[in-house]
Structure 1
Amino acid sequence: MGVNTLRGRLSLSPSGPHQDLIRTPSGPHQDPIRTPSGPHQALIRTSSGLRKALSPHQDPIRTSSGPHQDPIRTPSGPHQDPIRTPSGPHQDPIRTSSGPHQDLIRTPSGPYQALIRTPSGPHQDPIRTSSGPHQDLIRTPSGPHQDPIRTSSGPHQALIRPSSGPHQDLIRTSSGPHQGLIRTPSGPHQALIRTSSGPHQDLIRTPSGPHQDLVRPSSGPHQDLIRPSSGPHQALIRTSSGPHQDLIRTSSGPHQDLIRTSSGPHQALIRTPSGPHQDLIRTSSGLRKALSLHQDLIRPEEGSLSPSGPHQA
């Protein structure tokens, strides 16, 4: 059954694929299509072009100028709940209950730019990206990045938590793959690294250089802690089995402030205020003397110093 008007055409078909209503003010299927049982079951609205639902989009489609420009709602198709695109393909949100992006995708300008939630896909909980791929947050309970990923500008820039993948505990990086936890504002390993099986097994914090602030590994050469302020190993090193087994603190040069080792060559303590090992050495085996380049005296109990030459005991 068809009804012609001055502004367009109105068609009613009780048994065809467009079973409910078609309204077209100027073009073919220009205003809405409602079909309760056909493949175009809900509604399509377009301001200038064809207004009808395609076969995979079962509930509604609204487009202002391009294909599927405003929303798409499909109860059983790949984009199962809604799609809203003000200017590009799928630009605002996508909600699908059974497709690859199963819960929600919001993109203000690019593909999948704001949020993706999928209960069974590779990004199983959410993905939030402001400008780059996975730029803000990814949470997946069973995928390769199992808990979250937060990135501000690069891939996986802020946070990754997986329980069984190669990044098993936490990664915060600006660029490279790191196994436990890395926080880097500008350089490699710049803030923090936690790894369960790597050479820096527990923690690394560096403000500007490689391993510049803190390193804690459980089985590496620097097994407990390394803190440097400007140079390599400049602030603190604690190792249980290496040559500097207990502690190294340096203010400006190599081992400049303090070294504590329980079984190495510097067995108890070394303090140097200006030169290499310049101030104090404490050893647990009785020898308390300065090394060849050490200018002061070793008296850890009194804390007295002597300006005499090397090996002044």
Structure 2
Amino acid sequence: MKNGKLLVAPALLWLSIFFVIPLLIVVAVSFAGRTPYGQVIFSFTIDNYLRFLEPLYLKIFADTLVVAIVTTLATILMGYPLAYTIAQLPKKWQQPGLILVMIPFWINFLIRSYAWVIILRSQGVVNTLLLNLGLIDQPLQMLYNDMAVMLGMVYALLPFMVLPIYVSIEQLDTRLLEAASDLGAKPLTAFRKVTLPLTMPGIAAGTILVFISSLGMFVVPDVMGGAKSALIGNLIQNQFLSARDWPFGSALSIVLAVLSLVLIILYYKALQAQEGGDGDAKDVA
């Protein structure tokens, strides 16, 4: 037992220094004030949190939620068929399929975002091709709008949806599908009644990963959305780097962190409830 505690000690020390302490500093700064020149004044106030309730910031937060929800739904619709297809491949081809999903992570995220700018800009690859084919008379505006931001987010976060779903599908007991088939269930019915419910933990895990990452994303909106796309992540970035309003930026960060924590707790409660239901079903059987 003592040896186990010693093994955990380095990890706890690392988390304390680089996670817990910085988080406590951010919490403390979120209740502080500032001078007109941006200097932090440590006097307790909740004005930074009340300021978040102003219509301008609530609208930015609502826009962020819409983008995050659409991005999450898009990754589910694209990620589930891809994960299902990989899981149905022969064993020797599943690993190469997963490697193809992971390849984007081998390239710097910022470089990948700028690659989309080259593809979508007015003189980019897509517009040049369409103009040369005579399909359009003038370049399409495919960049610096909400659709471009969502496209960049879906591209960046799709692997976070595919991998958890793949694990759930790969661990699925195929005997249940065989039993459903023996009982006369059509493939679509078997998928709806057996496969989909049993792979919901993977969908839920991927949803949490994608949704939380979408909420805090600021690189893609900056690069592909320009000044026309302002999400909560960009607002936090601007408060720290441009406006020099660290207390308000810290308050926004805490609000976002609390929301993410609530979502994670809800996910684990739902997972425990499902496991409890499965256990009851097995006891009845």
| TM-score between the two structures when normalised by the length of structure 1 | 0.16
**Max radius of gyration: which structure?**
1
| TM-score between the two structures when normalised by the length of structure 2 | 0.17
* Bigger RCO of structures 1 and 2 (CA < 8 A, at least 6 apart): 2
Question: Which has more helix, going by share of residues?
Answer: 2
Question: Which has more strand, going by share of residues?
Answer: 1
